[in-house]
Amino acid sequence: MPAIKENFTEYIHNLQNEICSALEEIDGKAEFREDNWKRDGGGGGRTRVIEKGGVIEKGGVNISTVHGELPDPIKKHFNVDQGWFWAGGVSLVIHPGSPMVPTVHANFRYFELYEDEEMQQRTDGWFGGGADLTPYYLWDEDAVHFHKIFKDVCDSHGADLYPNFKKQCDDYFFNTHRGEARGVGGLFFDYLRADENRTLEDWHAFTTDAGKVFLDAYLPIVRNRMPEPYNPAQKYWQEIRRGRYVEFNLIHDRGTLFGLKTNGRIESILMSLPPHVRWDYDFNPQPGTKEEELIEVLKNPREWV
């Protein structure tokens, strides 16, 4: 029977192909550029980036499987003197051109630890990941749809999962220095280990099921909002809000910081950043506008389903 990491490796390769094909189809203009890369120390990945499309201004869908000796910052984090690891995952960020279509982020990953360099005997293993939606103009039904798709997956694996992972998402994707969420949330989970309630195989099934419904959660929203007209002022607002997205990724995001501290591939790590961003001094939306309405929701995360 194949090990979890072999199954998960096949899964992320297939999921990358499926998501990229669907995004190219809905974009109708641009195609993904592919870079295959190797990591010093072991493993590598396949980065795919799409730019200047009919719908997508910039996006990336990346996979990687890397292994080797634990980098020093990670040894310190786990309080070990030596150790080896294997990590695999898929990570994506899509920045649409229209401010009416929300940005989306998702990743699904698996990590194993070993005491021996041959990496034959796993000493620890866990899953992590999630998906979250970042609108610039908010339609409540879009947030409800996004959350409901992932809640249904969670509920099929346990009634306790969605409330827990929804709250973790609200807490994690929060710009504490601004006092506001990055978006309207979704799911966030990490360190899903075997315990008295679930095996590692159970968490593998949950994580892969969550990844499988990503397109169901996001594409209907894209199709509904693509035809919406917008003006230069609304595009300007999108670029202001993108600045908050960049702030989160560079200040708070653990994955970005992990990559930067462990000599990760910079182009793949910073793929998540949008192409056009603004930081106007003390910019605030006008009272009573859709822009102000969004900020109120971001300051006070809601229960969507």
Residues with a known catalytic role: 105
CA dist., res. 273 & res. 60, Å (int): 10
Which pair of tokens denotes residue 261? 């501290």
CA dist., res. 136 & res. 157, Å (int): 32
Q: Amino acid identity, residue 60? A: G
- Report which of 97, 107, 227, 243 is spatially closest to residue 172, judged by C-alpha positions: 107
DSSP H or E segment with residue 95? strand 84-96
Q: How many residues does the chain have?
A: 305
16-21 contact pairs (CB < 8 A, 24+): 16/46, 16/48, 16/61, 16/62, 16/63, 16/90, 18/215, 19/61, 19/92, 19/214, 19/215, 20/48, 20/50, 20/61
CA dist., res. 241 & res. 236, Å (int): 9
Compute, in degrees rounded to 10, the torsion defined by CA atoms 230, 235, 237, 240.
Answer: 160
